Structure 1
Amino acid sequence: MGVEIVGQIEKINCKELSYGDFAENYLAKNQPVVISGLTDDWRSREDWVSENGLPNLHFFATHFGKSRVQVADCERREFTDQKRLEMSVTEFIKQWTDDSIEDSGKDDKKNSVLYLKDWHFVKEYTDYTAYQTPPLFSDDWLNMYLDSYQMHEDRDHFQKYDQIACSDYRFVYMGGKGSWTPLHADVFRSYSWSANVCGRKRWLLLPPPQSHLVYDRYMKNCIYNIFEEVNETKFPGFKETTWLECIQEPGDVIFVPSGWHHQVHNLEDTVSINHNWLNAYNLSCVWDLLWRDYKDTEESIEDIRDISDDFEDLCQRNLAANTGMNLNDFFIFMSRFSLGNMVLLETYSEKDKSLNSCLSSMAHNLLLNLSTIQKIMMMMISAGGVTAKDVYLDLREAVEDPQFLRLVRDMGRTYAMIHKEEENLVLFSKEMLSKMTGFADQKMQICSPKDLVEMIDRYNTCSSHLLA
């Protein structure tokens, strides 16, 4: 069975694309696009690229060589992914260059093809600004939140995991010609964007309505490599798939929407920067995956339900380990982010009465965030919601928390920049936040999705002038 390619992914210059157009045509419609011109002024396009257009491996070894990173061996499969190795950046570069020299001298020698993946570069090198996230991709709830909070509320079990794997979802990838990533859909069914600092990639993308065709009949196992001989008995639907393709050039950025399975091949030695992110436009995709994975987790240990004193806690721990967050983490994330949106709306409406009209795109964005979170919380209520004990957000404690102050500041800067309303930017202080819990009335603790739905309702009632 071959791969049927039915079209090319659209390509557009960033000068022809406003944020409103991007949100309407690609975020809301969940459609992929390749965008040129976004990386022209990035420091990484200078420092990380040699004059011949290849990765400047000497620069990486000199400045970042001691970093410990995860490296995939593209020639060796381990379960559903490529075998992972841990090494320093210097060790990776040495093996990469050694293999390249051997490959050029021996046509019959088959070396490992190594691919450095998931390097949390931004978290590790906070004083080195390799790039600025393009405004088109800056409505990024996931990384804004993780810059202030850890993902997991159960810190006894996940403290070390949070410090590494879940510290953020901003990555650097480096690999030689022939390195590749197997077929997959992104973590949390998030959006992703990937920028080629140098090198070229070939992308194959599958629309979400066809996702079931690359799984077995039990929807448990996904095809590993669409270019190998696919077992037609195990994956009978594969022959019906139709794919979109693109060749991503140096400097190009590809937007990969939620739920689009994709396989990626490096056509040259390549360095790329990649973010996973979520916002109001794809939050329902994130919730759908989280709830489906929760039910699968519950089913997988159903046989110990009657003998376990903490069955639900065990489900939540397993869900967090396998999916990256659990229902409790998601609920607290949404609660804090809702409160942040309310603080921004309240502050900016007091500062500039023009925000009271529908003409403010920033106010519209913040209200969209709240309405979307409210809808997802109603889905949580229908599905069973959060049932674990001691999961709540105390509003008074939240607004006194320096972490929350940082989150609100980051949100304020981000939305003012996206919507070009920097003149409305407020320099938040702890004192300002401490005055902003009046909209919550007497309910100072958010203990369930129902509480959050009611809090947003109360806020909308008290701030109905913003909706006029």
Structure 2
Amino acid sequence: MGVEIGGHVEKVNGKELTYGEFVQRYLLTNRPVILTGLMDDWRSCKDWVLDDGRPNLPFFSSHFGNSKVQVADCGTRDFTDQKRIEMSVSEFIEHWLELSLKDYNNISTNEDSGKSLLYLKDWHFVKEYPEYLAYTTPLVFSDDWLNLYLDHYHMHNDRDTNQERNDISCSDYRFVYMGAKGTWTPLHADVFRSYSWSANVCGKKQWYFLSPSQHHLVFDRYMKNSVYNIFEDVSEAKFPGFTKAIWLECTQEQNEIIFVPSGWYHQVHNLEDTISINHNWFNAYNLSWVWDLLLRDYNEANEYIQDIKDICDDFEGLCQRNLSVNTGMNFYDFLVFVVRFSFSNIAQLYHLATTNLHTSWRSSQMARQIIFNLESSRDIALKMKSTGAADNQSAVDFKTTLEDSTFMELCLNFGRTYLMIHEQCEVNLDRKQALGVDLLDLGISETSSSYVCTPQDLVNFIDYACAKLLTMAKSSGS
């Protein structure tokens, strides 16, 4: 059964694209794009690639060989994914080189012949080798709340086991992928329904995209299971809408970066031996996608264990624990995440208002971006309020948060990113102390609105803080 290709992904010179243009053309429209010209100075493009364009596999063995990584067996299905195997990078490279000696480039990707094709995925390279500096995140992708947060906090703390560290709670979503020609990734939409970007350090990939408006066409009639491989013999009885799907297609060359928007299902094939650097991220522009996924997964988790509701002492807590395991965070985690970024955005806005960066600070691009962020966070809080499931947790206090060195470090890095995006300048290091002083002087932390433990509390806090700022702006005439 073939797939119908209805268009191709646009290719744009990334050097000629401003951040504002990227937002308007791709973030707000949620459309994919290939960007060129953004990888010229990357260390990885020199160290990881041979003169003939092939991967420099011995370099990985000699420099990173002891790292333990997850490797997918592209010929073995495991539910909705491929079977994963843990091995060292050296073992993976050795396997790859052995296949090369056997002329593995002639192996097809079907299940019978593809069992020996291994694909290294989700290698947390930046976390493991922070000093190596393999690349620089392009400016258009730098408003990355997810990875900034995980650099400072755990996404989820297991209250039952007091587990300090695990892949879900405190790792990042910055990855290296490595695979021989013929390796591939089954049809899927990205974790958290986040954005992602994928940069080909070497090699070539073929992408097939399906827009969110058509994702129901690759699910069964119960919307529980999706197609695994769009090129296998897809059952029309099980997936009655599949033949109606219209796909976008593109070939991603070496030194090109592809932007994958939220909610787009995609399947990817390596046409050559390939190494790529991938990030998943979200920010104010796609927070609603994250919440929609959480709510859907929560409803499914709730429905699945309804039969024990009457005998369970903490049914809601069980639902939230299951949600954190299955999705990577739960309602409480997400609320705390949004609260902390709301605090940070307020801090940036107050600091902007009290500096001389602009005569009329409210008209600056940075101020407009921060106001949009707060409006997005407020909208999400109102949506969460309607469920009532994130209430009655420990309060996040604004004053205590401002006194927390971890939060202030996040706040400083957040501000540095926004100055680079909108002002093209570096942040003054003295700003770290000023952020907290500004807000404490304005007295926001002395009110009951500074305690946030429910979504409605967050709405009240944002409204109060913005009203306070507006009053200050009027009195100063700015």
Instruction: Name the TM tier (shorter chain).
Output: over 0.9
Q: What is the root-mean-square deviation in Å for CA atoms of aligned residues? A: 2.0
| Deviations, residues 95-116 of structure 1 (Å, cap 9, x unaligned) | 1111221235998994511000
> How far, CA to CA, are the matches of 1:164 and 1:386 in structure 2?
20
Q: Distance in 1 between matches of 2:340 and 2:156?
A: 14
CA separation of 1:359 and 1:442: change in aligned 2, threshold 3 A: closer
> What SS is found at the alignment partner of 1:29?
coil
2 CA distance for matches of 1:214 and 1:180? 18
2:413 pairs, out of 410, 413, 422, with 410
Correspondence 1:90-239 to 2 at 5 A: 90-103=90-103, 110=113, 112-157=116-161, 159=163, 162-163=166-167, 166-239=170-243
Task: Give the superposition deviation at 1:358.
Answer: 4.1
* Partner Cα separation in structure 2 for residue 159 and residue 131 of structure 1: 32
Mapping of residues 43-442 of structure 1, within 5 Å: 43-103=43-103, 110=113, 112-157=116-161, 159=163, 162-163=166-167, 166-352=170-356, 354=358, 356-387=360-391, 389-422=392-425, 425=428, 427-430=430-433, 432-433=435-436, 436-437=439-440, 438-442=443-447
Q: Is the 8 A contact 1:356 1:466 kept in 2?
A: no
Partner in structure 1 of residue 453 of structure 2 = 447
Report how far residue 222 of structure 1 moved.
Answer: 0.7
Shift of 1:79: 1.1
List, as ranges, runs of 4+ consecutive aligned residues in structure 1 with deviation greater than 4 Å: 104-109, 155-158, 163-166, 423-426, 465-468
Cα distance between partner residues in 1 of 2:426 and 2:136: 21
Give the match's secondary structure for 2:393: coil
Change (3 A) 1:105 1:263: closer
Q: Which of 456, 459, 468 is residue 462 of structure 2 equivalent to?
A: 456
Q: Is the Cα–Cα contact under 8 Å of residues 332 and 392 in structure 1 kept in the other structure?
A: no
**Residue matched to 1:27:** 27
Which shifted more, 435-444 or 168-177? 435-444
Contact 1:283–1:372 under 8 Å retained in 2: yes
Q: Is the 8 A contact 1:196 1:271 kept in 2?
A: yes
Q: Is the 8 A contact 1:400 1:434 kept in 2?
A: no
Cα gap change, 1:162/1:106 in structure 2, threshold over 3 Å: closer, same or farther?
closer
What amino acid maps onto 1:394 in structure 2? D
Name the CA distance, whole Å, in 2 between partners of 1:326 and 1:73.
Answer: 30
Letter in 1 for 2:453: C
Does the aligned pair in 1 maintain the 2:157–2:164 contact within 8 Å? no
2:409–2:432 Cα contact (<8 Å) kept:
no
| Structure-1 separation of matches of 2:106 and 2:432 | 64
CA distance in 2 between partners of 1:183 and 1:106 (Å): 24
User: How far did residue 16 of structure 1 move?
Assistant: 2.3
Letter in 1 for 2:229: N
Cα pair 1:191 1:278 within 8 Å, conserved? yes
Q: For the structure 1 residues 301 and 74, does the alpha-carbon distance in structure 2 shift closer, same or farther, using more than 3 Å as the test?
A: same
TM-score computed with the length of structure 1 as normaliser: 0.95
Percent of matched pairs sharing the same residue? 55
The letter for the 2-side match of 1:297 is A
State which drifts further: 352-361 or 178-187: 352-361
SS of the residue corresponding to residue 363 of structure 2 reads coil
Amino acid across the alignment from 1:390? Q
The one-letter code of the counterpart of 1:24 is: Q
In 2, distance between residues paired with 1:215 and 1:43?
A: 41
Residues 162-219 of structure 1: CA deviation (Å, up to 9, x unaligned)? 3567511100000000000000000011000000000000000001100000001111
Name the aligned partner's letter for residue 43 of structure 1: R
Name which of structure 1's ranges 292-301 and 431-440 shifts more when overlaid on structure 2: 431-440
SS at match of 2:222: coil
Structure 1 distance, partners of 2:242, 2:217, is 5
Structure 1 residue 21: Cα displacement? 0.5
The whole-number CA distance in structure 2 between the counterparts of 1:227 and 1:89 is: 30
Please, which moves more after superposition, 87-96 or 417-426?
417-426
Matching residue's letter, 1:96: W
Instruction: Measure the CA separation in 2 of the matches of 1:183 and 1:358.
Output: 44
Over 3 Å counting, the alpha-carbon distance change for 1:379 and 1:334 in structure 2 is: same
For 1:396, the aligned partner's letter is K
SS of the residue corresponding to residue 118 of structure 1 reads: strand
1:364 deviates by 1.1
**Letter of the structure 1 residue corresponding to residue 262 of structure 2:** S
Q: Which 10-residue stretch deviates more, 261-270 or 376-385?
A: 376-385
Question: In structure 2, how many angstroms separate the alpha carbons of the residues matched to 1:195 and 1:353?
Answer: 35
Letter in 1 for 2:174: R
- For residues 469 and 429 of structure 2, what CA distance do their matches in structure 1 show? 19
CA–CA distance in 2 between the matches of 1:105 and 1:418? Answer: 43
Equivalent AA in structure 1 for residue 401 of structure 2 = A
Per-residue deviation, 1:91: 0.5
Whole-angstrom CA distance in 2 between matches of 1:460 and 1:411: 19
Q: 1:318: how far off?
A: 0.4
> Any gaps of 5 or more consecutive residues in structure 1?
none
Q: 1:426, CA displacement in angstroms? A: 5.2
CA deviations 1:266-305 (Å, max 9, x no partner) are 0000000000011111111111111111111111111111
Q: 1:226 to 1:160 in 2, by over 3 A?
A: farther
